[in-house]
Every structure is written in C-alpha cells, then in structure tokens.
Structure 1
Amino acid sequence: MEAEFSFASMNEKAEFAERLKAAMQAAGYPVRPAVLEREFNSRYWGRSVSFQAVSRWLRGLSIPSQDKLQVLAEWLGVEPQALRFGDWAVRQLRENRGVWEDSRYYQERQTFEAYLALPLPQRKIVREVILAFAKSAEQDPSKS
C-alpha cells in the first residue's frame, strides 16, 4: 500500500493534488492517472506504484512519500518543496537562505561549519558550553 503522510489534512492533500495537476499540465502531460503511473514508474527506481496510488494522489486523498516527491518534482521540472507545500515554501526557503548567506553573518556561518566538522564527542561538549552560556544569559540578561 502507498505510504501517506498521516499528519496531512484533507485540505493539504487536495492542495497537493492541485499542484500536481498544474505541474503535469505545465510540463505538457495530460492529467490522467494512467499517464502519471507510466511516467512516474519509468523514472522511479523503487517498487512501482499502482494505478490506484497515483489516482489517490490526483484526487487529493494521499500525498506520496518524500522519495517519490523528489522523482515527481524532477520529472515535472518543479522544486520538491513547491510541489509538496506550494510556492510560499520555496519563497520562505530562499528568504532564509538569503539571511544565512548575508556577509554580516560570515563569522557565525564559519563557526557553525567548523562545529559541524568536529567529531561527535567534541560537538557534544561545544553544544553543552553554548547551552550553558545561553542559560546564563536567560537568567541574567545584564551579563549578555
């Protein structure tokens, strides 16, 4: 049986279905389950999905798992986040990335990258030190 995101509301599923249909049309494909099943399965290296599963995607009854979303997005030439969550998600990601790439945050970014390069035991120690400083600053804001 096709995996669904159980936490997705009916509205989210219906909105996903509309985005999937629009992406198929924009890519020049007719919005039909048989077409979706054929095109998806020809690109997906996992177990083939059934006609019923893709029908559920198109009718807004389920949302495919992330690996399947990736394949759909690549095939249809859209960003996976846009297909799953809508254009607002892509805009939000770009805005957040823009802040992170801002030269004013270079030292923080460099520090974070160095932290991630540390072995796990050292990262744990650094994390504990940072959390201790943060807790201290919360308790006495005048020292920060």
Structure 2
Amino acid sequence: MTQARAQFALRLRDAMLAAGYEPRPAVLEREFNMRHWGKPMTLHGVRRWLKGETLPSHAKLMTLSEWLRVPPEDLVFGVGPRRRLEARQAAWDQGIGYVERDLFELFLKLPPPARKTVREVIVALAVANGIAKPRAPE
C-alpha cells in the first residue's frame, strides 16, 4: 500500500463520517452506486478504496466528491496543498496594486525574447540591491 492510497483511504473514511455515514464497505457501495451513472462498484472494489489498496478513477472520484460534498482535490491530496496555494495567492493579491497588475499584463503580452530581457534587468536590480543572489547565466 502506497502512502498516497493510504492517505486517500483515511480522507475517504473521514469524509464519510463527516457526512453522517458509517465508513463501511456495504454503506459505501450502496450510497456510491445510487449516485454513480457508470458501471457500479462491487463490495470488494469499494473495500479496496477504504483499505487504501486502490484509488478510484476520475469519474468515480467526482461522484464521491459530489456525494460527500468534499472537493475532489481534498480527497486525493488533502487540504494542505490547497491552503498553501490560497495563502500564496492572498499574499500576492495583498502585495500588489493596480499599477503593478497593469505592468504584469503588459509583460505577459511581450514576445519571449523581450520577456527574457525584462527578467534579466529585474534580477540584476535585485542582485544590486542585495535582494537576490547572483544567478548563473542560462
């Protein structure tokens, strides 16, 4: 059993409990098959999810997600990666104003060689001001 599958199984059991269901294969099989439009799962198949032996396909993961009202990425990866991304995005949103946003939009419209020149100028300024360490030439 890999760590990813074991973590998925733990998150699946927790999500079932949070939704008011007992994390047992018979319950999972019944509730899942009532909601999934594809090929039904067997008792053995859902037991393997709960034991961390296998992971569901994308379509089955989406059914689980909708039923248990948990984002699919939270079932697969947990909430840690999403929270880190949200924190990084919040820091980015708070740190720049409309002038910088306009500048970044212009930067993204530049052709690749011009973008490279702008990056080199920014890195050179950062090194000169002690914000960054010199980088090896590409």
TM-score, reference length from structure 1: 0.65
CA distances 1:88-141 after superposition (whole Å, capped 9, x unpaired): 1232132123134336154565655xx5xxxxxxx7x7345324543x449x82
Distance change >3 Å, CA 13–CA 102, structure 1 → 2: same
Q: Out of 110, 115, 130, which is 1:130 matched to?
A: 115
Of residues 96, 99, 124 in structure 2, which corresponds to 1:141? 124
Q: How many residues align?
A: 126
Q: Which residue of 2 aligns with 1:28?
A: 20
Instruction: State the AA in 1 paired with 2:114.
Output: V
Identity of aligned residues (%): 39
Q: Which residue of 2 aligns with 1:94?
A: 86
1:73 aligns with one of 54, 57, 65: 65
What is the RMSD of the two structures over their aligned residues, measured on CA atoms? 3.3
Task: Report the 3-state secondary structure (helix = DSSP H, G, I; strand = E; otherwise coil) of the residue aligned with 1:29.
Answer: coil
Distance 1:97 1:60 in 2: 32
Aligned-partner residue type, residue 45 of structure 1: W
Unpaired runs of 5+ residues, structure 1, are 1-8, 116-122
Q: Distance in 2 between matches of 1:107 and 1:10?
A: 48
User: Max radius of gyration: which structure?
Assistant: 2
For 1:11, the aligned partner's letter is: Q
Corresponding residue for residue 49 of structure 1: 41
